Chain A
Amino acid sequence: MRAGPALEVDRLLDDPRTRIIVCCGSGGVGKTTTAAALGLRAAERGRHVVVLTVDPARRLAQSMGLSSLDNTPRPVPGAEAEAAGGSLHAMMLDMKRTFDEIVEAHSDPDRAEQILANPFYQSLSSSFAGTQEYMAMEKLGQLRHSDEWDLIVVDTPPSRSALDFLDAPQRLSRFLDGRLIRVLTAPTKAGGRAYLKFVTAGFTMVTGVITKIIGAQLLRDVQTFVAAFDTMFGGFRERAEDTYRLLQAPGTAFLVIATPEPDALREASYFVDRLSSDQMPLAGLIVNRVHRSPAAHLSAARSLAAAEVLQPVPGSGESPFDLGENGHGENGQHGENHLAGPEAGVPDLRGTPASAATTSRHPLTATALRLHAERMQLAERERRLEESFSASHPVIPMAEVLAQPEDVHDLDGLRSVGKELARGVRLS
């Protein structure tokens, strides 16, 4: 029984009208890996792809086998795209350099130098909370306008919330274009004094407090920065609006990434609602790290019952941390472990307790049945979470990727993730 339709990944990747794919979702759900896997698959199916990542941890670099990424798209070695007539490039965003490039492109050399040297600009371009998102959008716009690639796959910044990504560009442009910053900086500009006449005691109070908070010297830096940056202000807002429109355009597809866990699906849910209220084109939901069993016909309950037939010792499979009624003996051991020093502090979780091994028949089967029951319970929990997501978002296509026993860290791994994504059918 499945609630949502299947997400047809290959159709999305093969459609020449798809020009931008944005992967979003909360942290730790596998956005970067998914973006890389989609990019690789599209390239090996004949598209000219660039994957843009904004992650400072260089995770994409690792999973694409590159030792470094910089602000320019680099070909990915080992991608077998040529046979299909495609190509694969990848790049990592350098937000400061992107910002510098905008400044250089839009002002004369003297003024650009003045701006780049301003201490306020330097901290704004390297640490303002929205700069990374803003510059990601800027870079996306540049890549799109260059028309060198026919598909851009973007991995969104690791924001505290998935929604920051949509808000930050507007926040930065609103800030740089804001009235408050103009009022504050008015005295340094010609004509500013006339404006000032209308701003009475309130203005003095405001400047006074701001000076108290941040200090007069920083305020002066801001004023000189704004004076130098003035000509670019309008441009900033325009650019932010442009990229925003680009995201709403039909060639863009948003993929929301999640794992079958309450927090990640809750974020996904917020994101889906937000995309729809902003009229952003949502292509579907990808659920990573899903657990399924090849022996789904043996239920958790029957499996546990069978394990008990073989191994009727209670508590043998429990964690040594379990301080429940059965846990005393193990805790004693544990404390000693700790006293032996930090190296021994790693608890020994291996091995079935000896008592259990001697009293049980077929210990391997009993263990297998217990693990199977655990997995069935996990799969069931995950399915319930996904179903409740589908129930509130019934028309959103979904695809699942099974949990891999090992991490993906090479192109082969990405290829098999891509294959699973494309299976298109949900595995319930």
Chain B
Amino acid sequence: MWWRGGDSLLWVRPRDTDWEGVRLHVVTGKGGTGKTTVAGALAIALAAGGRRVLLMEVEGRQGIARLFDSPPLPYGERRVAVAPATPTLPGGEVYALAADAEAALIEYLEMFYNLRHAGTALTRLGVVDFATTIAPGLRDVLLTGKAVEATRRRSGGRLYYDAVVMDAPPTGRIGKFLNVATEVSGLAKVGPIRGHADTVQSVIRSPQTAVHFVTVLEEMPVQETLDGVAELRGLAQGGLQLGGIMINMVRPVDLTEEQLRAAAEGTLDQHELDTGLKAAGIEDRRGLAASLAAELTEHAREELAQRAQRSRLAEAGQPRYDLPLITDQMDLAGLYRLAAALRDQGAA
């Protein structure tokens, strides 16, 4: 298997990671950037070396089930993957949870008021939906509350999960989502929800939590990342910790600098290309050199545009990690490759 291919040291090497001490990893990103995939890869990377990690989604999309090619997740924590074992350490485990506000509310009622039966009846009456509707933010505080509960859960004198990774709402909503405990606190000035919100807030705004951004090297996603970073930085005064920027779908560049410039300017030597095609034994070469040159030009322009986006991301001042483009359909092997890239660069 690939991870035994001489690089297993990567998995066992005792070393500091960039997010030592962080136990709740919140992963956000613009739609289409591969947020769920990166969250999954991060969970696997964190689980390496015999650790137990919970990967949790909050938007009811069953994205995790699709990622791990498993049937839809119930409201319950279920093991979906193992991190690679090494000769000296057992493989870690990744559990998954599709969190749901109603179920979380019933759990909450049961925990604090012993009201499970009432809770179930209330769901039927639509009361739960009603309550989460008239208290905007209640839904979000229940979901973040669930993540906080899992982060702090103890069993047999030790923490139950070594880390929790949350596949959070997209960048456009993340500020509100994470600040919701404050919004609810402002709305419900007294009462149990207020107390609950305060607890949630104290964990979210602590060094135990970090918010990572997933982006690709395109203008709009990069802009949203920068906006999101700026927004959260505003909340950082309250203790919210910004995490890393995960640059997804990075393509390797096969051209030398010189070729890249020439290709971008459209001044590649087509005669040289054609000679090469001839040497490669391609007979029907009519127009081929020109077409390939056009493809190279597009590729080079893309690369230069991506470099410009990369330097914009540098302005955010947060650590950045590159995740390679997986050209095949994303499967477990692809996820492991992304996980290895994250570990390799110190993200986990």
A contact residues vs B (CB 8 Å cutoff): 26-29, 55-57, 59, 62, 119-120, 123-124, 127-129, 158, 160-161, 175, 178, 180-181, 205-206, 209-218, 222, 259, 261-264, 293-295, 297-298, 302, 306-307, 309-310, 317-325, 327-328, 331, 334-335, 338, 342-343, 345-347, 349-352, 361-362, 364-372, 374-375, 377-378, 381, 405-407, 409
Residues on A with C-beta less than 8 A from B137 are 123, 127
Q: List 28 A-B contacts (CB under 8 A).
A: A26-B32, A59-B220, A62-B220, A62-B223, A120-B134, A123-B137, A124-B134, A127-B136, A127-B183, A160-B61, A205-B118, A210-B130, A212-B192, A218-B187, A297-B284, A306-B282, A319-B325, A323-B3, A328-B7, A331-B10, A335-B10, A349-B250, A352-B254, A352-B256, A365-B276, A367-B259, A405-B301, A409-B219
Query: Bound complex: CA of A129 vs CA of B2, how far in Å?
Result: 44
Instruction: Choose from A206, A263, A320 the contact partner of B127 (Cβ within 8 Å).
Output: A206
B153-161, B202-210, B232-240, B267-275 - interface stretch: B267-275
- Look across to chain B and name the residue whose beta carbon is closest to the beta carbon of A329: B6
B116 within 8 A of A: no
Chain B residues 250 to 273 lying within 8 A of chain A, measured CB to CB, are 250-257, 259-260, 268-269, 272-273
Interface contact B7-A178, CB-CB below 8 Å: no
B310 within 8 A of A: yes
- Look across to chain A and name the residue whose beta carbon is closest to the beta carbon of B272: A364
Interface contact B33-A407, CB-CB below 8 Å: no
If A57-B224, A128-B133, A306-B277 are given as contacts, then 20 extra A-B residue pairs at C-beta distance below 8 Å, sorted by A number, are A26-B31, A123-B137, A127-B176, A160-B59, A206-B122, A210-B130, A213-B138, A213-B192, A264-B32, A302-B282, A309-B281, A323-B340, A345-B319, A345-B345, A350-B260, A362-B279, A365-B276, A368-B273, A368-B293, A375-B295
Residues on B with C-beta less than 8 A from A211 are 191
- Look across to chain A and name the residue whose beta carbon is closest to the beta carbon of B66: A263
The contact string, 1 if C-beta is below 8 Å from chain A, for chain B 78-119, is 000000000000000000000000000100010001010010
The contact string, 1 if C-beta is below 8 Å from chain A, for chain B 305-338, is 1000010001000011111110101000000010
Interface contact A362-B272, CB-CB below 8 Å: yes
Residues on B with C-beta less than 8 A from A28 are 30-33, 221
B135 within 8 A of A: yes
Shortest beta-carbon distance from B20 to chain A in Å:
15
Interface contact A119-B254, CB-CB below 8 Å: no
Chain B interface residue count, CB cutoff 8 Å, equals: 104
Interface contact A323-B133, CB-CB below 8 Å: no
B12 within 8 A of A: no
Residues on A with C-beta less than 8 A from B255 are 350, 352, 364, 367
Shortest beta-carbon distance from A354 to chain B in Å:
11
Residues on A with C-beta less than 8 A from B273 are 364-365, 368
Shortest beta-carbon distance from B342 to chain A in Å:
10
Residues on B with C-beta less than 8 A from A346 are 310, 320, 322
Query: Bound complex: CA of A241 vs CA of B289, how far in Å?
Result: 59
B218 within 8 A of A: yes
Query: Bound complex: CA of A241 vs CA of B314, how far in Å?
Result: 48
Chain B residues 189 to 204 lying within 8 A of chain A, measured CB to CB, are 189-194
Residues on A with C-beta less than 8 A from B275 are 362, 365
Interface contact B280-A369, CB-CB below 8 Å: yes
Query: Bound complex: CA of A178 vs CA of B250, how far in Å?
Result: 50
What DSSP secondary structure best describes chain B's contact surface? helix
Interface contact B250-A209, CB-CB below 8 Å: no
Query: Bound complex: CA of A378 vs CA of B30, how far in Å?
Result: 23
Query: Bound complex: CA of A381 vs CA of B330, how far in Å?
Result: 13
- With contacts A209-B109, A368-B293 taken as known, whether A215 is within 8 angstroms of B192 at the C-beta atoms is yes
Interface contact A294-B305, CB-CB below 8 Å: no
B60 within 8 A of A: yes
Residues on A with C-beta less than 8 A from B187 are 119-120, 123, 218
B22 within 8 A of A: no
Interface contact B305-A298, CB-CB below 8 Å: no
Chain B residues 162 to 212 lying within 8 A of chain A, measured CB to CB, are 169-170, 172, 176, 183, 187-194
Chain B residues 212 to 228 lying within 8 A of chain A, measured CB to CB, are 218-221, 223-224, 227
Residues on B with C-beta less than 8 A from A215 are 188-194
Residues on A with C-beta less than 8 A from B176 are 127
Residues on A with C-beta less than 8 A from B230 are none
Interface contact A294-B295, CB-CB below 8 Å: yes
B contact residues vs A (CB 8 Å cutoff): 2-3, 5-7, 10, 30-33, 59-61, 66, 105, 109, 113, 115, 118, 122, 125-127, 130-131, 133-139, 169-170, 172, 176, 183, 187-194, 218-221, 223-224, 227, 250-257, 259-260, 268-269, 272-273, 275-277, 279-282, 284, 287-288, 291-296, 298-299, 301-302, 305, 310, 314, 319-325, 327, 329, 337, 340-341, 344-346
Interface contact A364-B259, CB-CB below 8 Å: yes
Interface contact A123-B136, CB-CB below 8 Å: yes
Interface contact B288-A217, CB-CB below 8 Å: no
- Look across to chain B and name the residue whose beta carbon is closest to the beta carbon of A26: B31
Query: Bound complex: CA of A378 vs CA of B327, how far in Å?
Result: 8
Residues on A with C-beta less than 8 A from B252 are 317-320, 349
Residues on B with C-beta less than 8 A from A327 are 5, 7
Residues on B with C-beta less than 8 A from A293 are 291, 295
- Look across to chain A and name the residue whose beta carbon is closest to the beta carbon of B340: A323
Interface contact B188-A214, CB-CB below 8 Å: yes
Shortest beta-carbon distance from B192 to chain A in Å:
6
Shortest beta-carbon distance from A377 to chain B in Å:
7
Interface contact A405-B257, CB-CB below 8 Å: no
Residues on A with C-beta less than 8 A from B138 are 213-214
Instruction: Choose from B296, B299, B344 the contact partner of A338 (Cβ within 8 Å).
Output: B344
Residues on B with C-beta less than 8 A from A59 are 220, 223
Max chain B CB contacts within 10 Å: which of A214, A342, A352?
Answer: A214
Query: Bound complex: CA of A29 vs CA of B256, how far in Å?
Result: 32
Shortest beta-carbon distance from B275 to chain A in Å:
7
Interface contact A350-B253, CB-CB below 8 Å: yes
Interface contact A217-B188, CB-CB below 8 Å: yes
Query: Bound complex: CA of A345 vs CA of B252, how far in Å?
Result: 15
Instruction: Choose from A129, A295, A335, A352 the contact partner of B295 (Cβ within 8 Å).
Output: A295
Interface contact B277-A294, CB-CB below 8 Å: no
Interface contact A323-B268, CB-CB below 8 Å: no
Instruction: Choose from B189, B298, B320 the contact partner of A345 (Cβ within 8 Å).
Output: B320
Query: Bound complex: CA of A205 vs CA of B299, how far in Å?
Result: 65
Interface contact A351-B256, CB-CB below 8 Å: yes
Residues on B with C-beta less than 8 A from A366 are 276, 280
The 7 closest A-B pairs by CB, nearest first: A27-B31, A28-B32, A365-B276, A215-B191, A362-B276, A295-B291, A28-B31
